[in-house]
Structure 1
Amino acid sequence: MIQASERTDGMTLSGPVEVVGTGLLGTSVALACRRAGLEVLLTDASAEHLATAAELGAGRPRLPEDAPQLVVVAVPPSALGTVITDVLVATLEHGTVVTDVGSVKAAPLAGVLAGAPTQVHRYVGSHPMAGSERSGPSAGNASLFEGRPWAITPHADADVAAVELVEQLIKVCGAVPAWQTPAEHDRAVARISHVPHLMSALVAGRLSGAPDNHLALAGQGVRDVTRVAAGDPRLYGQIVGGNAAAVVELLTEVRGELDRLIEAVGSGDAAALDGILERGVEGTRSIPGKHGGPAVPMTSVWVTVSDRAGELARLLADAVASQVSVEDIRIDHDTSREAGLVELVVAQRRGEHLSDALESRGWTVQR
């Protein structure tokens, strides 16, 4: 039980904010805090990363006499529990609140409970659902979290004031707080991130060493399915390993579904195959729509576009002129000529209107 004298007082986020780890996420948090006018202190085991982040205006190196109000730990997943514990011990005198931006939450909390149990009330885990294919401080962006969900995962012993301070950080970064327990968070990210990444890696692995005449047929579909498989294997191995229980539970479910799929295809059981495919369609419909609202039925309008400079801009301008909101855009490059197919994703009810409007402006629409 936390005694009243041990609890942090109600407070407003005023800084300094210390960021431990100046990679993509840490530097982005620091830049967002600087944008809001907060003093930011930087710590990193890499002198090169620290210098780069400071040069980018993310803050200044922390000095021994500095007393941060809030520390954000942004180190690799395997180091989270140890670093968070060390920070809690080092800041005991100042009652500093500590959070982290790791992609798993139960394991770091267990590390804190083992290493600094009397200080666990000052720790509140969090996880921004944002990132980039780039890494390092140079990839940092103050707007990385704008409008993105950011999980905040208070545990039973967390100080209310500490939780509120972390929520203020999330809002300063422009993100939207999503409240979950650590265990709920880990099950959620296993479902929507970790297992999809592993499935993507398995599919992409079938392409390694494939005959050239097979790969020559590759189109946008296989690129979509395998895109996330290009992530850093060592980093993602740490992430998955830190969430092993939730990931294994879901992988076991997928294995059962795969066995049923093999049986349906092998036996020619059309009804069973249709059922599996329809469940996949239902899953895509479950993904929240824009602004977190209900999913809206979408359709794709495919337009042939030459590789000449300015053609893509002209297509988008004509789409705007048609008064149809384009929700997403993808490009499937043609390997046999200097052209490609541009996929404009729009609300289903507006697809035919956009097709007609673009054709009237001379575009070739694939119907």
Structure 2
Amino acid sequence: MKKLSVKIVGAGLIGTSLALALKAKGHSINICDTDASAQALALDLVGEQANLTRPDLIIVATPVETIFDLLSSEFTSNSDSYFMDIGGLKSNLLTKVEGLSELSKRFVSLHPMAGREVSGPQSARADLFESRALLITSTSTSSTEAIELAKQLAGEIGSTPYLIGAQEHDQAIALISQMPQLVSSLLAATLVGTPPKDLAFAGGGLRDVTRLAGSDPALWSALLLGNQEELLKSTHRFASLLQEFIDALSKNDGEKLKRILREGNQGRELIPGKHGAKNRDYTYLPIVIDDRAGQLARLFDECAKVNANVEDLSIEHSPGQETGLITLALSASDAAKLGEHLVSAGWRVHSPLK
């Protein structure tokens, strides 16, 4: 991809992260924001700013309710540039953009499926988009060049591009992005008024499920209201399942409770792996090793002897503990042959898990 001059309007989490990622690839970056403190921090993080009089690309990274006006304003001054936004809603925006025929030709809408529960440039990361999906929504008149530029941009920030229509985007986002935020916030809201001594007992599960509840209320209220029709469909489905659970619990119906929980297991398994790829069907091989130097290297030597390809691994070990648990993720066939080989070589191998 040729080096571009890129103007980013909006120095929040996403805009600043995008600036950092593109700057690291050698592109010329200028980032601006109406919030002087946010802009100052973003400028310090990104470093030297390019003086762009005619940028190749202008990306609007601001709250959804401001995107169209900023696109219109920027197009008036830079009609030869290409334009993109990175907002979380598409249908209404694309309808408005298509009302400006020349802008529509040079515009593509993006939605990086990446973010954090904390906002602002202070939370920005250059690797925020790596191994994530980048949803690309074109107008009915977006040029081939504009769409290709969006695909190339995805590669520059480490994302995988996916073309998706505006309505399809908003429908999917209601379930996979907005519902998690809603459920997290509602659960966290039930904690208000809970005695501190009870909350002191909280473990990782509560923190995990309520992580998204730390997000910006102003940002998310606009996103939720902007996708009202699609979100209501998802919330009604969720409410129906919740009522089923309440009924089963009230009637001491253990079989129905187990069925609902099993459906949760099934739904969890449907969530794909990195950047929208199919979730790999790994077999997990647990191996206990001694806490001494070189053990992990020896284990990988054994893998090489039988040509077993390790897809992933986890290590469970605490300081001072004499042993550790290494769990290798492999294909089913590799797990079988490696397990047999390690047992014959005297390793402490335990039953494979799915």
- Correspondence for 1:19: 8
- Give the distance between the partners of 1:200 and 1:160, measured in 2 at CA: 40
- Give the distance between the partners of 2:81 and 2:285, measured in 1 at CA: 51
- Give the distance between the partners of 1:223 and 1:315, measured in 2 at CA: 34
- Give the distance between the partners of 2:50 and 2:235, measured in 1 at CA: 43
Q: Which amino acid aligns with 2:21?
A: A
Q: Give the conservation status (yes or no) of the 8 Å contact 1:285–1:295.
A: no
- Give the distance between the partners of 2:74 and 2:325, measured in 1 at CA: 48
Tell me the TM-score normalised to structure 2 length: 0.78
- Give the distance between the partners of 1:235 and 1:160, measured in 2 at CA: 32
- 1:299-318 residue pairs with structure 2 within 5 A? none
User: CA, structure 1 residues 33+264, in 2 after alignment: closer, same or farther (shift >3 Å)?
Assistant: same
Please state whether the residue corresponding to 1:209 is helix, strand or coil: coil
User: CA, structure 1 residues 122+232, in 2 after alignment: closer, same or farther (shift >3 Å)?
Assistant: same
Shift of 1:96: 1.4
- Give the distance between the partners of 1:199 and 1:315, measured in 2 at CA: 44
- Correspondence for 1:157: 141
Shift of 1:260: 1.5
Please state whether the residue corresponding to 2:210 is helix, strand or coil: helix
- Correspondence for 1:192: 176
Is 1:279 the counterpart of 2:291? The answer is no
Shift of 1:110: 2.7
Shift of 1:344: 8.4
- 1:211-226 residue pairs with structure 2 within 5 A? 211-226=195-210
Shift of 1:113: 3.3
- Correspondence for 1:102: 87
Shift of 1:73: 0.7
Q: Which runs of 5+ in 2 are unaligned?
A: 301-309, 349-354
Q: Deviations over 1:140-195 (max 9, x none)?
A: 33222222211111132211111111211221112111221122122222111110
- Correspondence for 2:41: 52
Please state whether the residue corresponding to 1:153 is helix, strand or coil: strand
Shift of 1:232: 1.7
- Give the distance between the partners of 1:43 and 1:206, measured in 2 at CA: 39
Structure 1 vs Structure 2 CA RMSD: 3.6
Deviates more, 1:161-170 or 1:83-92: 83-92
User: CA, structure 1 residues 19+257, in 2 after alignment: closer, same or farther (shift >3 Å)?
Assistant: same
- Correspondence for 1:86: 73
User: CA, structure 1 residues 19+321, in 2 after alignment: closer, same or farther (shift >3 Å)?
Assistant: farther
User: CA, structure 1 residues 133+251, in 2 after alignment: closer, same or farther (shift >3 Å)?
Assistant: closer
Is 1:294 the counterpart of 2:252? The answer is no
Deviates more, 1:53-62 or 1:181-190: 53-62
User: CA, structure 1 residues 290+40, in 2 after alignment: closer, same or farther (shift >3 Å)?
Assistant: closer
Q: Give the conservation status (yes or no) of the 8 Å contact 1:328–1:346.
A: yes
Shift of 1:52: 2.6
Q: Which amino acid aligns with 1:101?
A: I
Please state whether the residue corresponding to 1:104 is helix, strand or coil: coil
- 1:243-254 residue pairs with structure 2 within 5 A? 243-254=227-238
Is 1:135 the counterpart of 2:107? The answer is no
Identity of aligned residues (%): 32
- Give the distance between the partners of 1:297 and 1:90, measured in 2 at CA: 53
User: CA, structure 1 residues 290+62, in 2 after alignment: closer, same or farther (shift >3 Å)?
Assistant: closer
Residue in structure 1 matching 2:221, options 237, 247, 252: 237
- Give the distance between the partners of 1:297 and 1:88, measured in 2 at CA: 49
Residue in structure 1 matching 2:192, options 208, 212, 220: 208
Q: Give the conservation status (yes or no) of the 8 Å contact 1:327–1:344.
A: yes
- Give the distance between the partners of 2:166 and 2:186, measured in 1 at CA: 28
- Give the distance between the partners of 1:198 and 1:163, measured in 2 at CA: 32
- Give the distance between the partners of 1:278 and 1:124, measured in 2 at CA: 41
Q: Give the conservation status (yes or no) of the 8 Å contact 1:286–1:295.
A: no
Please state whether the residue corresponding to 1:124 is helix, strand or coil: strand
- Give the distance between the partners of 1:178 and 1:224, measured in 2 at CA: 28
Size of the aligned set, in residue pairs, is 324
Please state whether the residue corresponding to 1:142 is helix, strand or coil: coil
Shift of 1:139: 3.0
